Amino acid sequence: MHLPSVRPSLLGVDFTCAPGRRKPIVAAHGTRAGDVLRLQSLQEITTLAGFEALLAAPGPWLGAFDFPFGLPRVFVDALALGGDARAVIGELHRRCPTRMALRALIDAWGNARPPGQRLPHRATDTALPGVSSTSPLQTRYVPVGFMYYEGFARLVAAGVDVPGLCAGDAARVALEAYPGWLAHALIGRRSYKNRDGADTLIARKDLVDVLEQGRSPLGLRLKLTHAQRDALTADALGDRLDAVLCLVQAAWASRQPGYGLPAEVDPVEGWIVGAQTARAATPEVAWTS
């Protein structure tokens, strides 16, 4: 007799490598029924230990996380960091016990390369024609390299399953998300975060409206309470909204064979879930991290 499968709870995480009260990690928790995605709660996590506790929560759950799960193969191969994502993050932490040591390693390698080639991208970072996103080797401005260093190491240590990269607990599944492409697919090039202005507030309201109306390339309709809607639009940093956009990507993946990932994923680079859909939805949009 086959027991009925339990539908996993869904998780979208806007990550920061140095969380605190002013800039917490934000986790959006939700459930999906058919095409309807219901936001259950928004959780603010102010320490990396709190993030570890989130990852340790028993499944079944499926989470989409806004940080890189891999590094460009040209960098990995040049420094002989390993042949798969687990080996790479382990070797990086062995060589670089701190984030500043990681920056020094990247700078030393990049400075020996020609200008314009010092911060290469992964295949998934340039999955759209004419599109560029921040290289996972960037440790300044938007420090996604530090986010990879702190975030992915904790996924591996927690023993979660990362399809295509690291086998783990099949009841706790982690996917790499990127809220930027979905936001731009919905409202174009308009800025919606990191600035407290009338235009960004209107952009956040419009973004929430589109999600609630189900006019998304991912084919889902977001269900919110009035209080949740207000919380999303009031957050000038946009972290809550980014967590919800990650949640939408997790919900889309939950209904796709193989979570919607390509048949072959580079085992050191990884893949952003939904990038293939973004190709069809936003062919003219340039997006950055």
Write out pLDDT tens, residues 42-76.
999 999 999 999 999 999 999 999 999 999 999 99
Strand 61-65's sheet: what is its strand order? 160-161, 169-176, 61-65, 9-14, 25-33, 36-45, 221-223
Q: What per-residue string of b and e applies to 105-135 under the rule 16 or more CB within 10 Å gives b? A: bbeeebeeeeeeeebbbbbbbebbeebebbb
- State the pLDDT confidence band at 130, using cuts at 50, 70 and 90: very low
Q: Which of 134, 68, 29 is nearest to 272 (CA)?
A: 68
Cis omega (within 30 of 0) on the bond before 60? yes
Does this model's pTM top 0.85? My answer is yes
- Taking the C-alpha atoms of residue 11 and residue 29, their distance in angstroms, rounded to an integer, is 5
Q: What is the pLDDT of residues 131-169, one digit of tens each?
A: 467 899 999 999 999 999 999 999 999 999 999 999 999
Give the pLDDT mean for 216-244: 95
- The count of residues in the chain is 289
Give the model's pLDDT for residue 185. 86
Taking the domains of the chain in order of start, what are their residue ranges? Answer: 6-178+247-289
Q: How far is CA 197 from the centre of its chain?
A: 26
- The SS3 assignment for 287 reads coil
- The pLDDT score that the predictor gives to residue 5 is 58
